[in-house]
Amino acid sequence: MNIGIVIPGFSDGEQDWCIPVYLNLVRTLAQSDSLRVFAMRYPLRRDQYTVYGAQVIALGGGSYTVGVGRVALIARTIAMIIRQHRIKPFDVLHAIWADETGFAACIAGRLIKVPVVVSVAGGELVGLPGYGLQSGRVSAWLVKQALILADCVTVPCQYAFDLLPSRQLTSPQPLSANRERFPEPIANRTAIVPLGVDPILFSPSSETRIENRLLAVGSLSNVKGHDKLLHALAQLPDLSLDIVGEGPLLSELSTLAETLGVAARVTFHGAVAHDALPRFYRSAA
């Protein structure tokens, strides 16, 4: 099968973990299928190279942009997908995220008459202070259009499924359907596909696990709720906590830990390389 994957950012090489789950996805699919990965924003250059046998086409969009720059990037991505389809026709396009990647894949899919799968990560469906694509009108519109146009939508859990903007929104004509079929609501085109975990890297270990030790891994930003975790820890005197991650709230969270009297039981580890993370998981309760 010839698969085109449209994604915001992808590994710059086999040693660049970028977002490990997608590197693993491509490595696995490339063993049996022909893959071309369209990386819209990262790496920060326009280039073509190979990762695990998959062809990666970097569009070089760079950091998040708005206005004309964003429109140009989406148009460039659509044009590149069409160009690659002419070289070697796609059987399916798969967009990771239902934002500009999903929109670009769906428009290209309609033009070349190829079915499109859009995988929702979660942030597309919420609009919290400082987080989520529903906070911006253009991003929210792009998400809605991607969900409407996709032949198939995947979400990681029931909670994300329930956040779909309107499960009755219909597709004008799923390409994979009979031409005489009536439009289908999003719910009928959506599958819950849980995010996977590598069971070899992240297997539990009774030998190294510390029963009273908790672990939090994530950026130190408001949406992660580390402040609530520290307040909870203050009510649980027998527990200790490892916090892995970096971000703008490090100083504030460190001060809060002192104020709550839990600083001696909290360790801020900062950024930790992906291949070093499994030992943290194995040691945590």
pLDDT of residue 16: 79
pLDDT of residue 251: 96
Taking only the tens of pLDDT, the chain with its 285 residues reads 999 999 999 998 888 777 888 998 999 999 999 999 999 999 989 999 999 999 999 999 987 777 888 999 999 999 999 999 999 999 999 999 999 999 999 999 999 999 999 999 888 999 887 788 888 889 999 999 999 999 999 999 999 999 887 655 555 555 544 434 445 788 889 999 988 777 777 777 777 777 899 999 988 988 789 999 999 999 999 999 999 999 889 999 999 999 999 999 999 999 998 778 888 988 888
For helices 68-87 and 100-112, the axis angle rounded to 10 degrees is 40
pLDDT of residue 262: 97
pLDDT of residue 179: 39
> Any residues with CB less than 8 A from the CB of 66 and at least 6 apart, and which?
138
- To the question of pTM greater than 0.85 for the whole model, the response is no
pLDDT of residue 201: 75
Which tokens hold the place of 169? 């929104």
Find the length of the chain.
285
Q: Quick one: 14 exposed, middle or buried, by C-beta within 10 A (0-12, 13-18, 19+)? A: exposed
